[in-house]
Structure 1
Amino acid sequence: MKTRLAFSVNDLAETRFAVSPMWEVVTSRRVLAGATVPDPHRGWAEQVRPRLAAAGLDRGWLAEMIPSAGHLPDFLNPTTTSHELPDELAAVEATDPEQVRRDLDLLAADSDGRLSPRLRSLRRNPQAHLPRIVAEIEAYWQLAIAPYWARIRSVLEADVFHRGRQVAEHGTARTLGRLHDTVRWDGGALHLVERHCPITRIETGAGLLLVPSVFAWPRVLTRSVPSEPPQLAYPARGIGTLWESRGHAPMDALAAVIGRSRALLLAELDTPASTTELAQRSGLSAAGVSQHLTALRAAGLTSTHRAGRTVFYARTGLADALLTAQAQV
């Protein structure tokens, strides 16, 4: 299916880019819903799936609302001012009940008119269930996205910087026409092919919100809600390097500053891990690992993410920058 989104001068003026945590939640859950995981994300999926299963999130609200193909509930990707996760979650919880019902009706249409008992209860009383959905999203975020958010966000922000520079040098129309193979600018309109749902300016608000996504690859996804600007989530540049190992360069220079054990732990945190896992990988005692991680966290080099009784540690963007600089020494 093809769709044509017309642009006025005002629409071009109100076109903007944004990094959206909720788009990464939705698109990553769609990746996990597929029979096969795309090559770039297989390592991530192998780490995340056991955590989600242990927490029961492999069969929760998101699993039922986000299919591997077809319609995605628009209310899960709200248009907000800041596009920080707390603001997006607040918008999800405050969704108009009629919007929830419209999204569920479209989901049902994609599955022979049927909804699961859980989704039928959501349709009957959205306001009673939206807080539970938000709570599940927060739990999913902690397990599947938060430990990797520093490197994901760096890819997304680099894409926005690149596109912004393209706009400055070549104009918005040319930039729009180079977002993806299925997107073309021509005759004052954006032409999209391979659309599951068409978008027209009549049924949307002014402007356009462009959202780079690492998990949308290789597709372009859209959101269309009356009176709000349409959204287009497209594959961010640099996805091929997203999961590359960054922690195996010689650590002598960094070890001289923060100590060999702490430098070793930062290298091991190329993959988020618990204290027990890090002790097994590094050969250090669990107590020693815990002490070093506390110091690294205080210095802003690691972050913590709780999953039930387990706490996962991850490197921050600052730590990644230190390791990159180390590798260039």
Structure 2
Amino acid sequence: MLTLRDGPAATEARMGWMHYELAGMDLADVRFAVSPLNELVLSLRAWRDPGRYPVHLPWLRRVEEARPSLDGDMLLALTNESMWTPDYLTPRPGSPLTRIDDELAAVAAVDDAVVTHDLEAVHPGGLPAALRGPLPAVRRRVLDALSGYWDACFAPAWPRMRAVLQADVVHRGTVISAHGAGAMFADLSPRVSFADGVVSVRLGTLNAAFRRATAGVGLTLVPTLFTRGASAPISPAEPPVIMYGARGTGTLWQAERQVADDALVAVLGRARAGLLTALERPASSTELARRLDVTTSAVNQHLRVLRDVGLLTSARAGRSVLYLRSEVGDALVGPPR
């Protein structure tokens, strides 16, 4: 048996490190992206062990009624006690504007051998019942379970989640412009460091260590709402990715304070004035109810009145109806302060 003495090399081997070499320290190799599928799959960690993710307890309570209608056995089978998830279900996203339908289509096209390997890696002691059987049927069931989960629990909340993630991306770009790449990488996580053109990530997996260049493929940084540190693939064959905890996650489920001009409140009442002020951008009644922590039925009543008097417009987008201030509503609210 080979043993290592205590020291930097021994510590590195025990902890596991990943090193990405930027091509000539070229930050053009670094890009940010947001993945709705990554968030969907990683959120299953909070389902399995809510106590590890207390910030998401308000959301878990809100979606509790939807859980019995979902394929819970399959969804829970996509994680394990160590909170691992199959790598093929968390692909590297291509941009900050990635769509869930595009990502699910890409997952459907993953090679069977990769799917089998990734599922067995999450469950090395044997696959749970939901993942056994003919692979085509299992793959269809995985996609159906994730699609149902998205529609019931994620779609109503995704605009708010996406806003936090995209705000993080904007912030990181500002830090790079003002203070350089070193400051940006140092602020991602205590596990991430940057020196001499090399980005290093301390991995939670023991004895996993590698070094690779990002030339030709780039390094993608992906903020997420469902991690408390930073993570990266443990194989050099995987595309270079670092997932890190997004800023602002702690305030994600706090109710927004309805802000409206006193004169507008006097004319419309506080609830309707607050909704009209909030609808500078399109939103559904479900999203507004979650943002303002009120019932959807109450929001719908006010929205119908505001639309009937011409202060709002509405349009169907998929399964949702989106509301937006009309020109008359804009004039009544006045310019942004």
TM range (shorter): 0.7 to 0.9
- Name the counterpart of 1:189: 198
In structure 1, C-alpha distance between the alignment counterparts of 2:84 and 2:128, rounded to whole Å: 16
- Name the counterpart of 2:128: 116
Judge which range, 221-230 or 167-176, deviates more: 221-230
- CA shift at 1:78, angstroms? 1.8
TM-score, with length taken from structure 2: 0.72
Q: How much identity, in percent, do the aligned residues show?
A: 31
- Residues 69 and 256 of structure 1, relative CA distance in 2, 3 Å threshold: farther
The answer to whether structure 1 residue 3 and structure 2 residue 13 are counterparts is no
Match of 2:141, SS? helix
- Residues 5 and 259 of structure 1, relative CA distance in 2, 3 Å threshold: same
TM-score, with length taken from structure 1: 0.74
- Residues 147 and 133 of structure 1, relative CA distance in 2, 3 Å threshold: same
User: Are the counterparts in 2 of residues 185 and 191 from structure 1 also a CA contact under 8 Å?
Assistant: yes
- Residues 185 and 67 of structure 1, relative CA distance in 2, 3 Å threshold: same
In structure 2, C-alpha distance between the alignment counterparts of 1:245 and 1:262, rounded to whole Å: 16
Give the alignment partner of residue 223 of structure 2, picking from 212, 219, 222: 212
In structure 1, C-alpha distance between the alignment counterparts of 2:306 and 2:132, rounded to whole Å: 45
In structure 2, C-alpha distance between the alignment counterparts of 1:236 and 1:300, rounded to whole Å: 32
The answer to whether structure 1 residue 76 and structure 2 residue 89 are counterparts is yes
- Residues 35 and 209 of structure 1, relative CA distance in 2, 3 Å threshold: same
- Name the counterpart of 1:52: 67
- CA shift at 1:130, angstroms? 2.3
Count of residue pairs the alignment pairs up: 301
In structure 1, C-alpha distance between the alignment counterparts of 2:222 and 2:262, rounded to whole Å: 40
Give the alignment partner of residue 138 of structure 2, picking from 129, 139, 151: 129
Q: Which runs of 5+ in 2 are unaligned?
A: 1-14, 279-284
User: Are the counterparts in 2 of residues 176 and 183 from structure 1 also a CA contact under 8 Å?
Assistant: yes
- CA shift at 1:200, angstroms? 2.6
- Residues 292 and 91 of structure 1, relative CA distance in 2, 3 Å threshold: farther
User: Are the counterparts in 2 of residues 92 and 130 from structure 1 also a CA contact under 8 Å?
Assistant: no
- CA shift at 1:22, angstroms? 0.9
- Residues 8 and 302 of structure 1, relative CA distance in 2, 3 Å threshold: same
Match of 2:232, SS? strand
- Name the counterpart of 2:189: 180
User: Are the counterparts in 1 of residues 88 and 118 from structure 2 also a CA contact under 8 Å?
Assistant: yes
- Residues 277 and 62 of structure 1, relative CA distance in 2, 3 Å threshold: same
| C-alpha RMSD of matched pairs (Å) | 4.0
Which one has the largest radius of gyration?
2
In structure 1, C-alpha distance between the alignment counterparts of 2:269 and 2:163, rounded to whole Å: 27
Match of 1:210, SS? strand
- Name the counterpart of 1:246: 256
- CA shift at 1:229, angstroms? 1.8
Give the alignment partner of residue 164 of structure 1, picking from 169, 173, 178: 173
In structure 2, C-alpha distance between the alignment counterparts of 1:200 and 1:256, rounded to whole Å: 64
